[in-house]
Amino acid sequence: MKTPKTIDKLNALAHSHGPLPTGRGLSSGVVALILGILCFLGVLAFHFPQYLSTPELRKSYDVSTIRLIMYWAMVVAGGISLYNILFARTRWLAASAFFLVAAAALLGGAKVPVNNFADHTPYIGLDWFILDLLGSSLIFVFIEKLFALRREQPVFRAEWQVDMQHFIVNHMIVGFV
């Protein structure tokens, strides 16, 4: 019997829904993976702000605050990943998250210099996507778990993938509107 590769397991995870089983590192691994993805995307946005960030949003946030958030997100994701790897808790997921955090760190992490760049370039709203996903997740998942209308409904309910696709498209096309 062939053992599924990490990419196949990540693909299966992305297509699954329902409650995450506790005690095996899957929930913490998903948190680390999401933070790792957001940190990696954030580093890319720092490297290419003229193409990956929203000019109106850039004017309204403090870059040092974003760097601090990214730093701590990398620390949390890296710490969770290392813990799960060391204690054999869903290692494939933890290794994937750690790979993203390491890639983000190797690309400069929270210390990527943002040089001057030309205005009026075509762009996608990657910074808007990252900040809104992080903020919405922190706020609404917390509220949903605290004051749930349907207590039996998991965070990753059926069709969450469709919602995520709409979320991504709506945030990325902000530069075209």
**pTM score of the predicted model:** 0.80
- Cα 116 off chain centre by: 26
Asked if residue 128 has pLDDT above 80, the reply is yes
Average pLDDT over residues 68-80: 97
Per-residue buried b or exposed e for 22-32, using 16+ beta carbons within 10 Å of the residue's own CB: eeebbbbbbbb
pLDDT tens-place string over residues 131-150 = 888 888 888 878 877 887 77
Q: Which pLDDT score is estimated for 161?
A: 73
DSSP for 143-169, written as a single string: HHHHS-SSTT--SS-TTHHHHHHHHHH
Asked if residue 3 has pLDDT above 60, the reply is no
Task: Return mean pLDDT, the chain.
Answer: 84
Q: Which pLDDT score is estimated for 59?
A: 82
> What whole-number distance in Å separates Cα of residue 51 and Cα of residue 49?
5
Longest dimension (CA), the chain: 55
How is the chain split into domains, by residue range? 24-175
Asked if residue 1 has pLDDT above 50, the reply is no
Asked if residue 20 has pLDDT above 60, the reply is yes
pLDDT tens-place string over residues 36-51 = 999 999 999 999 888 8
Single out the residue of 117, 115, 109, 132 nearest to residue 44, CA to CA.
109
Q: Residue 25 half-sphere exposure, CB side, CA atoms within 13 Å?
A: 22
Q: Which residue has the higher pLDDT, 147 or 78?
A: 78
> What whole-number distance in Å separates Cα of residue 73 and Cα of residue 90?
20
Asked if residue 107 has pLDDT above 90, the reply is yes
Q: Which pLDDT score is estimated for 171?
A: 74
- Cα 144 off chain centre by: 19
**What proportion of the chain, given as a percentage, has pLDDT over 90?**
32
User: Is residue 114 helix, strand or coil?
Assistant: coil
Q: Are 57 and 87 in contact (CB under 8 A)?
A: no
Q: Which pLDDT score is estimated for 2?
A: 53
